[in-house]
Chains A and B, each alone.
Chain A
Amino acid sequence: MVNSEGLNCERVCQEISNYLEGEVDPALRAAMDQHFPTCKRCSSVLEGMRNVIRLYSDERMMEVPAGFGRRLEKRLAESVRVRGSRWSTWSAWLVPVAALALFAGGLRLANSMTVAPPLKSEHAQPGEGIPPDMLVVVTSGAKVFHVAGCDFIHNKQTKRILTAKEAMREGYVPCLRCMREYLHTAVAGHLALEVEAAAETDADDMEVGGQ
């Protein structure tokens, strides 16, 4: 039991921060409430601390450098563009079509591509167009990095986020599907070959993901 007589200034100052947090038990609080009006020193510490908290908690104390918001918006926009909404509708129909094409004879389709480098060499193209700061997703057991939300991320519970530059440094290669617009391969830009390209990409992803 704490009473105001047993409470010295040192103890009050030790508890003063907890007091402001409402983190002292009722008996101690009552004793401190009795102490402050009788002690100029402790009440000056209490009020000084209140000043500190009130002044520093003011939003005006958190200034950002000039142009901060504009630069942030630009960087976000770059990333958002990569993960553009086009993908959500695209992937919705592409997945079953791609799977169908794959089962209907993916190997033949892949072989019939006008430009058909072996998978390894395709992977060996790191996609110079990928912004190095772009955030990408990798998972354990796979060798491919993806844009977040790509439907071909395997083993999602082990996913890790890093920049494209870091991913490439660690030996990951771009997913041919979600990184498509950055790759200078036969896959990129040929709408007519979309289904074939997707079939090939899927085969590739499955192979890698199954490692």
Chain B
Amino acid sequence: MSEANILLHNPEQAVATREQDLIARVQRGQNELFYELVRPYERRVYAAALAILRNETDAEDAAQEAMLKAFVNIRQFRAEARFSTWLIQITINEALMRRRRERTVVMEAIDDRRDEESDYAPRDFADWREVPSESLERKEVRQKLADALATLDRKYREVFVLRDMEQLNIQETAEALGISVASVKTRLLRARLMLRDLLAAGWEQGWFSRLPFEKGNKPW
């Protein structure tokens, strides 16, 4: 199969190839292409910064700063790494550095010293059904989900955002946050269980009430 055919039949590969090409060109000095390179990741970069800083203005500033640092360091990027992961890790470093500098999270820091026993018992919601992704078209649903996430303690929220929203793997999440793989797994379990319970409770409060479920069925 020719290269053109491979690109035609494998759009993901085509995107990756285009990205590699953009990286190489920026590394050679075509600076004006940098925004094009990072634009597909701007949501993820912002979400990572927001998960750590919890303030929209700070998160935006940290996201911009992280992008600039990525730009300045672009020649240090090695092709064997995933560009998105590299970018997210720079963002997390930037956000963590700011948080340490501002020391605004004394209470949460105390919370982090609590032991990580995962003795959380999920609530009993016996019936379940898949919530269709179309529900995310509605802003109020997205807002409810975001609010539920925001109620999680920092250590659970950060791991959940990096693994399940940013799609870093367990190892990358551990490295990005400077914690052990075992801690990532424990926190991830807890975060997922708590969110499952929050969303199940939300179901009972009618968050998804306009969704086309048959009467009597619950999505849990």
Interface residues in chain A, defined as those with a beta carbon under 8 Å from any beta carbon in chain B: 10, 13-14, 16-18, 21, 23, 40-41, 43-45, 47-65, 68-69, 71-73, 75-77, 79-80, 83-85, 88, 135, 137, 148-149, 161
B35 touches A13 (CB 8 A): no
* Segment at the A interface, from B9-17, B106-114, B185-193: B185-193
Which of A43, A49, A75 is in CB contact (< 8 Å) with B68? Answer: A75
Contacts of B188 in A (CB 8 A): 17, 21
Partner of B196 from the list A43, A52, A65 (CB cut-off 8 Å) is A52
B interface, over-half SS: helix
Residues from chain B with a CB closer than 8 A to the CB of A84 are 31
- Contact pick for B60, options A21, A48, A63, A71, CB 8 Å: A71
Given known pairs A17-B189, A49-B193, the reply for A76 and B68 (CB within 8 Å) is yes
What are some 11 contacts across the A-B interface (CB < 8 A)?
A14-B118, A17-B185, A18-B189, A21-B170, A47-B130, A48-B220, A51-B130, A53-B164, A55-B135, A62-B47, A161-B69
**How far apart are the CA atoms of A124 and B158 in the complex, in Å?**
44
B contact residues, range = 35 or more
Contact pick for A148, options B72, B118, B122, B195, CB 8 Å: B72
Distance in angstroms from B120 CB to nearest chain A CB is: 8
Q: Is B44 an interface residue (CB 8 A)?
A: yes
User: Using an 8 Å CB-CB cutoff, how does the interface string of B178-211 with A read, 1 for contact, 0 for none?
Assistant: 0000000100110011011101100000000000
A135 with B68: CB separation less than 8 A: yes
| Distance in angstroms between the alpha carbons of A41 and B121 in the assembled complex | 11
In the bound assembly, the distance between CA atoms of A43 and B63 in angstroms comes to 39
Q: Which of B34-54 contact A (CB under 8 A)?
A: 34-35, 38-39, 42-44, 46-47
The answer to whether A56 and B124 touch (CB under 8 A), given A44-B220, A63-B142, A69-B42, is no
Contacts A47-B220, A161-B72 given: A56-B165 contact, CB under 8 Å? yes
Q: Is B30 on the interface with A (CB-CB < 8 A)?
A: yes
The listed residue (A47, A62, A75, A80) touching B46 by CB distance below 8 A is: A62
Interface positions, chain B 87-108, Cβ under 8 Å from A, are none
The minimal Cβ–Cβ distance linking B31 to chain A, given in whole angstroms, is 4
Interface string of B122-143 (1 = CB under 8 A from A): 1011111111010111000010
The reply to whether A57 and B167 contact each other, CB–CB distance below 8 Å, is yes
A45: chain B residues within 8 A (beta carbon): 122, 193, 196
Contact of A62 among B35, B72, B165, B220 (CB under 8 A): B165
- Chain B residues near A44 (CB-CB < 8 A): 124-128, 220
Q: Which of A16, A72, A137 contacts B67 (CB 8 A)?
A: A72
Q: Closest approach, in angstroms, between the C-beta of A65 and any C-beta of chain B?
A: 6
B30-A85 in contact (CB<8A): yes
Q: In the assembly, what is the distance between CA of A139 and CA of B65, in Å?
A: 20
In order of increasing CB-CB distance, the 7 nearest A-B pairs are A17-B189, A48-B196, A62-B43, A62-B47, A80-B31, A47-B128, A148-B72
Chain A residues whose CB sits within 8 angstroms of the CB of B193 once the complex forms: 13, 16-17, 45, 49
> Would B165 and A13 count as touching, CB distance under 8 A?
no
Q: Quick check: B142 and A48 within 8 Å, CB to CB?
A: no
Assess A137 versus B72: contact at CB under 8 Å? Given A59-B43, A61-B142, A72-B64: yes
Contact of A54 (CB < 8 Å), options: B29, B42, B133:
B133
B185 and chain A: residue at smallest CB distance:
A18
Known contacts A60-B137, A71-B64, then 15 further A-B pairs from the complex at CB < 8 Å, ordered by chain A residue: A44-B125, A44-B128, A48-B128, A48-B196, A54-B131, A55-B199, A56-B164, A58-B133, A61-B165, A62-B43, A63-B43, A68-B63, A80-B32, A80-B34, A161-B69
Partner of A51, one of B65, B149, B189, B196: B196
B153 on interface, CB distance cutoff 8 Å: no
Bound CA span A41–B145, Å: 23
Q: Complex Cα distance A44/B49, Å?
A: 32
Residues of A near B21 (CB, < 8 A) are: none
A contact residues around B122 at 8 Å (CB): 13, 45, 48
Rounded to whole angstroms, the CA-CA distance of A49 and B163 in the bound complex is 14
